[in-house]
């Protein structure tokens, strides 16, 4: 099969690495799993050796779909010809575990999408471009803050490009998102807008981006930069900011 660069088709081909990732996904009896971009099913086949209830495969490419239908006959597997970016994850269950060697061109979008579906996604294990993976775990970026408001993020391992075919130009990293116990009930779109605004020109002092009364109420140094504030603090700021906005209406 001819691989399509525009769909980020770099297949993970090292059996040892695939086994390790399947172990880290740690499928359990009764679990509903979703794999994004299964491709030819290299990782899928390793996961099939574990117990679980259902595995939904989301793949956009018809050639890949055909190959999957031919090679995977497990009754627990459902193949969806679907774009993971617009797929309704919550239609599959209330406590799903998502994983995948993500197509790197849409990886950040898929991570963002995960947060928008955090009510039903309890865990996600994603392989992405190493720098992107590290930045989601540590920041500074609006997406990192957004993710870490709802999930604990662990960087699990780096995967050198030689383990892929065709070999990508970049190294890869595996991260695990585990949903937090206590989740804020906030409007996600509004919170995203708030964070992207704070992080635009992120080196500018915070006093240029937030009303003085918000900074005073939380005793925040008006000269500090957004990147010095952790996700918990940003959420606090968001809530106070909401209140101030509401009072003025």
Q: Which residues of this protein are in contact with ligand SAH, per CB under 6 A?
A: 7-12, 36-39, 42-43, 58-61, 64, 83-85, 100-101, 103, 106
Nearer to ligand SAH, 12 or 206 (CB): 12
Count other C-beta atoms under 10 Å from residue 76's C-beta. 14
In whole angstroms, the minimum distance from the beta carbon of 199 to ligand SAH comes to 25
Task: Lay out the sheet containing 32-36: strands in order across.
Answer: 77-81, 54-59, 32-36, 96-101, 121-129, 172-179, 151-159
In whole angstroms, the minimum distance from the beta carbon of 25 to ligand SAH comes to 12
Nearer to ligand SAH, 64 or 214 (CB): 64
Let me know how long the chain is: 249
In whole angstroms, the minimum distance from the beta carbon of 78 to ligand SAH comes to 14
Q: How many angstroms separate the CA atoms of 74 and 225, rounded?
A: 52
Nearer to ligand SAH, 15 or 51 (CB): 15
Q: How many angstroms separate the CA atoms of 166 and 161, rounded?
A: 9
Q: How many angstroms separate the CA atoms of 134 and 223, rounded?
A: 27
In whole angstroms, the minimum distance from the beta carbon of 45 to ligand SAH comes to 10
Nearer to ligand SAH, 39 or 139 (CB): 39
Nearer to ligand SAH, 60 or 153 (CB): 60
In whole angstroms, the minimum distance from the beta carbon of 169 to ligand SAH comes to 15
Report whether 211 contacts 244 (CB < 8 A): yes
Q: What DSSP string describes 25-57?
A: H---TT-EEEEE--TTSHHHHHHTTS--SEEEE
In whole angstroms, the minimum distance from the beta carbon of 201 to ligand SAH comes to 31
Number of residue whose CB is nearest ligand SAH? 37
Nearer to ligand SAH, 25 or 229 (CB): 25
Report whether 134 contacts 167 (CB < 8 A): no
What is each CA distance from 190 to 4, 193, 197, 243, in whole angstroms? Answer: 36, 5, 11, 13
């Amino acid at each position: 099969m001819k691989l399509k660069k525009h769909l980020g088709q770099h297949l993970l081909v090292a059996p040892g690495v695939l086994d390790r990732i399947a172990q880290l996904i740690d499928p359990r009896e009764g679990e509903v799993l979703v794999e994004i971009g299964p491709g030819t099913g290299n990782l899928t086949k390793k996961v099939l050796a574990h117990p679980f209830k259902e595995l939904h495969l989301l793949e956009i490419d018809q050639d890949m779909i055909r190959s999957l239908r031919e090679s995977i006959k497990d009754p627990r597997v459902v193949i969806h010809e679907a774009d993971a970016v617009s797929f309704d994850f919550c239609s599959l269950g209330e406590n799903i575990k998502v994983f995948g060697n993500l197509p790197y061109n849409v990886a950040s979008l898929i991570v963002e999408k995960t947060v928008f579906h955090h009510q039903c996604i309890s865990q996600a294990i994603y392989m992405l471009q190493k720098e992107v993976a590290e930045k989601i775990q540590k920041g500074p970026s609006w997406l990192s803050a957004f993710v870490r408001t709802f999930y604990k993020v662990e960087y699990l391992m780096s995967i050198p490009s030689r383990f892929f075919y065709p070999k990508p130009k970049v190294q890869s990293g595996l991260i695990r998102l585990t949903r937090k116990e206590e989740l804020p009930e906030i409007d996600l779109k509004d919170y995203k807008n708030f964070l992207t605004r704070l992080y635009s020109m992120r080196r500018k002092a915070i006093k240029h981006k937030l009303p003085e009364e918000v900074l005073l109420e939380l005793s925040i140094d008006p000269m500090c930069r957004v990147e010095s504030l952790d996700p918990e603090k940003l959420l606090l700021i968001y809530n106070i900011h909401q209140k101030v906005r509401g009072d003025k209406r």
